[in-house]
């Protein structure tokens, strides 16, 4: 199966256009921040884009050339931070969009990193383990000093995992001997400087955000997660752990999917058995006794919480009207197009945006980096308490910022309507726009405080 065509077979929405639209939607609310002409472009444009061509000796003896990318978007608040993905759709625009999202995400949860991202255009599922190791080592060697413990720190993303990060570390440290290089990459195995709680962090952070959003009264129909029905698209690191953690929190997981298809049972799936089935067969499909779904159908099943946890642009204008949920928890990066976002907002369905909902991963990556710098290993309860605090604080700041923006807009709207009786409505800011306003504001302030070199 061609992974690049499993979603949006009829449209390829450029993630960088989505990232720009999201940025532009926040700009009108940033007032003084863009006082200096050119500041807007400075904050949106990437600082550095590296493209490398990677010859790899394949198991059958032929040489294949892969193309890899690393983009450092912004380092105003600290070194670049962002995952490496191996996926057919990877190109410069996709990696740049993902790098901008990392900048806003790190700023929103207030960790001292900027944004970066990397990737190689390939179908990772067709590579053997040895081919994947050679590809990774060649990539890291080619990147050279474009990554480093104090400059740009990779992590896992789609179709890369802790084993991949172990190869990243080994390659970097073999070429930079004589110093502690553990902080050059996060998401490493526990035995090799990884942090307790990193593998579940993205999903766990999302669960903390969702639960706290409910506590703050964000979903008037829901007082607790207990009994809430959940549908999850994607059953990798983010989706699989979300299924497990939400099930532990008392939710009923009614549907899950992966790239091959989905499964649905309105009475709830036995998630432990689904995990075993996935491990044994490579997919959730063909799990017995439940309804089988096409990959996209999981987004349309009736549920209280919809969790896109696969890839970008899965909620689009073509399927958004069929969405039947009370809230969207974006564990994937960029799963909702601006048109789908507007449609969900018009229907009163809040979207907990990716830069908040999936920020648990980079937050525990930051904890791993701190532990590596100190040669320390924190206990699980320490990691969880720090993670929960970070996610709760960021959720409160987004909710508070949206309320403040809405108040301001309501006042402004009356003045506007009086002055322009025939013009359209002023747009009401969403949770995403509020999150962007907080995050961009922090990066802009850091940039102003540092000044423009020289
Ligand atoms: P992964 O490689 O572990 O899993 C990806 C999953 O998506 C797999 O189950 C795959 O089968 C599924 N998938 C692929 N194409 C699909 C399709 N067309 N329909 C349905 N499912 C499909 O990747 P991951 O790390 O879980 O990342 C998933 C998303 O979460 C990505 O958008 C990633 O950027 C984001 N994310 C991941 C992390 C992290 O720590 N891993 C952190 C933040 C955000």
Gap from CA of 454 to ligand 1 centroid (Å): 41
Q: Phi first, then psi: give them for residue 50, nearest 5 degrees.
A: -115, 130
Give the contacts of 242 (CB within 8 A, at least 6 positions apart). 203, 206, 207, 232, 307, 309, 329, 331
Ligand 1 near 257 CB (within 6 A): yes
Gap from CA of 20 to ligand 1 centroid (Å): 22
Gap from CA of 30 to ligand 1 centroid (Å): 32
Give ∠ CA 77-443-217 in degrees, rounded to 5.
110
Note the pLDDT of residue 302. 98
DSSP 28: G
Say which CATH number the domain at 209 has: 3.40.50.720
Output the CA torsion 320→324→326→331 (10° steps).
-60
Domain count of the fold of the chain:
2
Q: Are residue 172 and residue 269 in the same domain, yes or no?
A: no
Note the pLDDT of residue 6. 36
Ligand 1 near 354 CB (within 6 A): no
In a domain, 380, yes or no: no
Q: Are residue 151 and residue 265 in the same domain, yes or no?
A: no
Note the pLDDT of residue 419. 65
Note the pLDDT of residue 424. 60
Q: Are residue 206 and residue 174 in the same domain, yes or no?
A: no
352: β partners = 329
In a domain, 227, yes or no: yes
Q: Are residue 234 and residue 109 in the same domain, yes or no?
A: no
SS3 243: helix
Note the pLDDT of residue 9. 39
In a domain, 38, yes or no: no
Ligand 1 near 310 CB (within 6 A): yes
pTM of the predicted model, to two decimals?
Answer: 0.95
Q: Are residue 234 and residue 171 in the same domain, yes or no?
A: no
Q: How far apart are CA 417 and CA 419, in angstroms?
A: 5
Asked which of 146, 180, 214 is the last residue of a domain, the reply is: 180
Q: Are residue 209 and residue 348 in the same domain, yes or no?
A: yes
Please identify, by atom number, the ligand 1 atom nearest to the C-alpha of residue 7.
Answer: 18
SS3 295: helix
Q: Are residue 159 and residue 230 in the same domain, yes or no?
A: no
Q: Whose CA is nearest to atom 23 of ligand 1?
A: 158
Q: Just list the catalytic residues.
A: 117
Gap from CA of 380 to ligand 1 centroid (Å): 24
Q: Whose CA is nearest to atom 14 of ligand 1?
A: 259
In a domain, 40, yes or no: no
Q: Are residue 237 and residue 118 in the same domain, yes or no?
A: no
The CB-side HSE value for 39 (13 A sphere, CA atoms) comes to: 20
Q: Are residue 165 and residue 214 in the same domain, yes or no?
A: no
In a domain, 407, yes or no: no
Ligand 1 near 7 CB (within 6 A): yes
Structural domain for 241, as ranges: 201-357
Gap from CA of 331 to ligand 1 centroid (Å): 9
In a domain, 78, yes or no: yes
Ligand 1 near 197 CB (within 6 A): no
Note the pLDDT of residue 420. 61
Q: Are residue 332 and residue 270 in the same domain, yes or no?
A: yes
The CB-side HSE value for 437 (13 A sphere, CA atoms) comes to: 24
Asked which of 180, 212, 243 is the last residue of a domain, the reply is: 180
Q: Are residue 214 and residue 142 in the same domain, yes or no?
A: no
In a domain, 156, yes or no: yes
Residue whose structure tokens are 């050119």: 38
The burial of 156, by beta-carbon neighbours within 10 Å (0-12 exposed, 13-18 middle, 19 or more buried), is given as buried
Q: Are residue 212 and residue 67 in the same domain, yes or no?
A: no
Taking CA atoms, 135 is separated from 121, 125, 130, 169, in Å, by 11, 13, 9, 14
Asked which of 337, 357, 377 is the last residue of a domain, the reply is: 357
Ligand 1 near 96 CB (within 6 A): no
Ligand 1 near 243 CB (within 6 A): no
Token duo for residue 10: 């009829």
Token duo for residue 381: 């309860």
Q: How far apart are CA 400 and CA 409, in angstroms?
A: 14
Note the pLDDT of residue 31. 79
SS3 75: coil
Best of 158, 199, 201 to mutate for ligand 1, by most ligand atoms within 8 A of CB?
158
Note the pLDDT of residue 416. 64
233: β partners = 257, 308
Gap from CA of 453 to ligand 1 centroid (Å): 38
Gap from CA of 411 to ligand 1 centroid (Å): 41
Best of 88, 157, 314 to mutate for ligand 1, by most ligand atoms within 8 A of CB?
157
Q: Whose CA is nearest to atom 42 of ligand 1?
A: 361
Please identify, by atom number, the ligand 1 atom nearest to the C-alpha of residue 362.
Answer: 42
Ligand 1 near 328 CB (within 6 A): no
Q: Whose CA is nearest to atom 30 of ligand 1?
A: 332
Gap from CA of 15 to ligand 1 centroid (Å): 16
In a domain, 121, yes or no: yes
Ligand 1 near 358 CB (within 6 A): yes
For the chain, list residues with pLDDT below 50: 1-10
Note the pLDDT of residue 10. 44
Taking CA atoms, 190 is separated from 26, 187, 198, 203, 244, in Å, by 39, 9, 9, 18, 21
Buried b (16+ CB within 10 A) or exposed e, 91-118: bbbbbbbbbbbbbbbbbbbebebbbbbb
Say which CATH number the domain at 154 has: 3.40.50.10860
Q: How far apart are CA 347 and CA 273, in angstroms?
A: 35
């Amino acid at each position: 199966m061609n992974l690049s065509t499993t979603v949006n077979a009829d449209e390829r929405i450029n993630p960088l256009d989505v990232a720009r639209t999201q940025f532009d939607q926040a700009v009108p609310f940033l007032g003084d921040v863009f006082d200096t002409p050119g500041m807007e472009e400075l904050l949106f444009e990437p600082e550095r884009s590296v493209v490398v061509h990677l010859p790899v000796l394949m198991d059958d003896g032929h040489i294949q050339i892969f193309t890899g990318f690393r983009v450092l978007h912004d380092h105003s608040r600290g070194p670049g931070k962002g995952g490496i993905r191996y996926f057919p759709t990877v190109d410069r625009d996709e990696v740049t969009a993902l790098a901008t999202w990392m900048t806003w995400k790190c700023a929103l949860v207030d960790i001292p990193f900027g944004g970066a991202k990397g990737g190689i255009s390939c179908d990772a599922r067709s590579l053997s383990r040895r081919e994947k190791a050679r590809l990774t080592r060649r990539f890291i060697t080619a990147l050279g000093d474009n990554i480093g413990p104090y400059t740009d720190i990779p992590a896992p993303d789609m179709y890369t995992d802790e084993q991949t990060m172990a190869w990243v570390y080994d390659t970097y440290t073999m070429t930079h001997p004589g110093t502690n290089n553990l902080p050059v990459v996060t998401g490493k195995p526990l035995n090799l400087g990884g942090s307790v709680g990193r593998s579940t962090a993205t999903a766990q952070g999302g669960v903390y955000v969702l639960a706290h959003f409910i506590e703050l009264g964000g979903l008037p129909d829901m007082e607790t997660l207990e009994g809430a029905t959940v549908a999850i698209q994607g059953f990798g690191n983010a989706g699989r752990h979300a299924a497990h953690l939400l099930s532990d929190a008392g939710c009923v997981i009614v549907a899950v999917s992966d790239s091959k298809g989905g499964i649905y049972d309105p009475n709830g799936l036995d998630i432990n058995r689904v995990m075993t089935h996935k491990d044994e067969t490579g997919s959730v499909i063909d799990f017995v006794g439940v309804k089988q779904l096409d990959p996209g159908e999981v987004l349309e099943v009736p549920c209280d919480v919809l969790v896109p946890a696969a890839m970008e642009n899965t909620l689009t204008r073509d399927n958004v009207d069929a969405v039947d949920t009370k809230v969207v928890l974006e564990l994937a990066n960029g799963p909702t197009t601006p048109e789908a976002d507007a449609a969900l907002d018009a229907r009163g369905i809040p979207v907990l945006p990716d830069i908040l909902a999936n920020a648990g991963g980079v937050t525990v990556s930051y904890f791993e980096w701190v532990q590596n710098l100190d040669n320390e290993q924190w206990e699980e309860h320490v990691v969880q308490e720090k993670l929960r605090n970070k996610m709760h604080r960021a959720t409160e700041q987004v909710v508070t910022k949206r309320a403040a923006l809405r108040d301001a807009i309501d006042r402004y709207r009356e003045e506007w309507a009086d002055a322009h009786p025939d013009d359209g409505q002023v747009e009401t800011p969403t949770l995403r726009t509020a999150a962007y306003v907080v995050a961009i504001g922090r990066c802009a302030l850091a940039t102003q405080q540092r000044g423009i070199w020289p």
